[in-house]
Chain A
Amino acid sequence: MTAAVVEVRDVHKVYRRGAERVDVLKGIDLDVPAGEFLALMGPSGSGKTTLLNLIGGLDTPTSGRVIVAGRDLTHASSRELARWRAEHVGFVFQSYNLLPVLTAARNVELPLLLTRLSHAERRRHVEAALALVGLADRANHYPAQLSGGQEQRVGIARAIVTDPTLLLCDEPTGDLDRETAGEILDLLGELNARYGKTIVMVTHDPLAAARAGRVLHVDKGVLVAARAA
């Protein structure tokens, strides 16, 4: 059996809005083995993005444990989480979240600024990542000069440029048309199948979820059903 890259144990997440208590996650248990492509589906407000944020170390659970790539994130400090994210996680966002003032290449280079790589080494990594997503010829284009699909490819290149353990995708095709969404999903599938990347993807789209190896449904803060692909 393949070792779990992600282990989530009885995780609760509670937010407070003034006097109101909002239980977003209610005792989630989840294992994601290395090399799996997992889709998390569910309606808006179900808690799937919150779960993704906890797995990615962007937030910490109210109770329970989150262990990713062998590291217990539950009680890590903000600084430790930041360093851990830089090394182990790549994020792909729905709205791409590229910095508009930087070219595609400079956007992809951002996570590498946190490493000890030289300028030449960083450039080689950036070129390789952009080539992998099919945008080698768009390296010097600014986000505003790219289509939505191309922007998301740059977002994926930025997510994989440090060769992270885990790719976390939050509605990666949410802002794209069907055809472009298909291309992005093909790319994620290739990263999983050919390069063995472990991927956790949050999506509303059943067609997108169908590309995953396993689909889990989150509803009102609990995992309610599972389907193996």
Chain B
Amino acid sequence: MKYLHLLWRNLLRRKARTTFTFLSIVVAFFLFGLLMAIRNGFEGGVEIAGQNRLLTMHRMSIIQMLPERYLAQIQGTPGVRLATHLTWFGGIYQDPKNVFAQMAVEPDAMLRLYPEFILPADQRQRWLLTRTGAIAGRKLAARFGWRIGDRIPIQPTFWRVRDGKPDTFEFELVGIYRGATPDVDETQFFFRHDYLMERVGKPGLVGWYGVQVEDPARADEVARAIDRQFANSPAETKTATEKALIQSFANQVGDTGTMLTAISAIVFFVILLIAANTMAQAVRERTNELGVLKSLGFTDRGVMGLVLGEALLLSGTAGLTGLALVLLAVPVLAKLVEAFLPVFYVPARALVLGTGLAALLGLASGGVPAWVAQRLPIVEALRRR
């Protein structure tokens, strides 16, 4: 600590140069944090996907519907503990720009299958008793200012209403769920499947099935058993673990993880060049002073430590500032992007990785200049001006 003043004063020697380098590093770490939040948003679903959950969908595509009667057969498959169905609604709330997921479900089974959606007991009970009842995630409710008891009209887009009433579905908000972890999507809207079927004339169709297996180690075996039952039928199924399917959806967008890692790597490489140039210039300009320090009794390693310390101080303070700024900015940005990235936050592991990268940047940018400073012969250094 007693050298901190010396390191700090040396950094401030060329204020403009240090400021620009500092800002470059701040921006790099801000971008890094942002990219990690985006990556987490894309992959968050994969991370939280239950290891013991399967997803059974139409063999052709998830947008093709399956018969509701499959539920009993799936439920009866050996190794299956629980099964339920979910159906995409795809309606419009007030404005087509208000995009959010709406799904018709069996309330009790859905909440048992997805325990990461936390709903207070009284709200759960009310949902079970209210045919037009719906629940919304905490972020979604906050986005539209919904409160429990509100009537929420949603216009269907592809479902044809056959009960002679106006097309609009009017739901009563009976519950607001929160996620058990920050990765859980809190922007979804669930309502009762029986209400949907009642209004569309009971076609007996569902979107896909969620299945809980008794033993995660036998998940693949159970998936094959489910699909075998519907082979050669008009609606063949494809069953896989939730994790594998969500990963394959994420991959359809592109290998986001690799893309974002590549962008981060390029940004850091450029910043490394900038920071290394700053440190190299700083050492070149101070050759005489390094000689003076050595003449006073600073060892070669001591001088090397001072140069490395300076680089670490610069990259450390700038890197942590960038990470702190992104932590402040992400909650604001999350509101802007929640329709597309419902889970948007900087994960703790990204902060740890960022801190490590800041240290690595310091060592890498200061390494060569520090080595040069260490090897500097005193007499030669003192001669330089």
A associates with B: yes
A163 interface contact, C-beta 8 A: no
Task: Report how far A53 CA is from B382 CA in the complex, Å.
Answer: 11
Contact B296 A86, beta carbon cutoff 8 Å: yes
Whether A82 lies near B300 (C-beta < 8 A) is: yes
Contact with B along A104-124 (1 / 0, CB 8 A): 001000110110000100000
The main secondary structure of chain B at its interface with chain A is helix
Stretch from B39-47, B286-294, B333-341 contacting the other chain: B286-294
Considering residues A59, A78, A82, A99, which has the most beta carbons from chain B within 10 angstroms of its beta carbon? A82
> Which residues of A sit under 8 angstroms from B289, Cβ to Cβ?
97, 99
Select A113's contact among B2, B299, B379, beta carbons within 8 Å. Answer: B2
Q: How far is the CA of A86 from the CA of B292 in the complex (A)?
A: 12
Q: How far is the CB of A141 from chain B (nearest CB, A)?
A: 14
State whether A79 touches B299 (Cβ < 8 A). yes
Tell me which residues across on chain A come within 8 A of B3, comparing CB atoms.
113
Most chain A beta-carbon neighbours within 10 Å: one of B297, B299, B378, B385: B297
Q: Is A37 part of the binding interface, using a Cβ–Cβ cutoff of 8 Å? A: no
Q: Does B97 contact A (CB under 8 A)?
A: no
For the complex, would chain A's binding face be called helix, strand, loop or mixed by DSSP majority? helix
Which of B4-12, B78-86, B187-195, B264-272 is the contact stretch? B4-12
Contacts of A110 in B (CB 8 A): 6, 293, 296
Question: How many residues of chain A are within 8 Å of chain B by beta carbon?
Answer: 26
Select which of B10, B299, B385 is within 8 A of A82 by beta carbon.
B299
- Residue B162 interfacial (CB < 8 Å): no
B297 with A111: CB separation less than 8 A = yes
A97 neighbours in B (Cβ, 8 Å) = 288-289, 292, 382
B11 closest partner in A (C-beta): A101
Given contact pairs A102-B9, A110-B296, A113-B3, a sample of 5 additional A-B residue pairs in the complex whose CB atoms are under 8 Å apart: A58-B379, A82-B297, A97-B288, A111-B296, A158-B296
- Which residues of A approach B to under 8 Å, CB–CB? 53, 56, 58-59, 78-79, 82-83, 85-87, 91, 93, 95, 97, 99-102, 106, 110-111, 113-114, 119, 158
Top 3 A-B residue pairs of the complex, sorted by shortest distance between their CB atoms: A86-B297, A101-B9, A82-B299
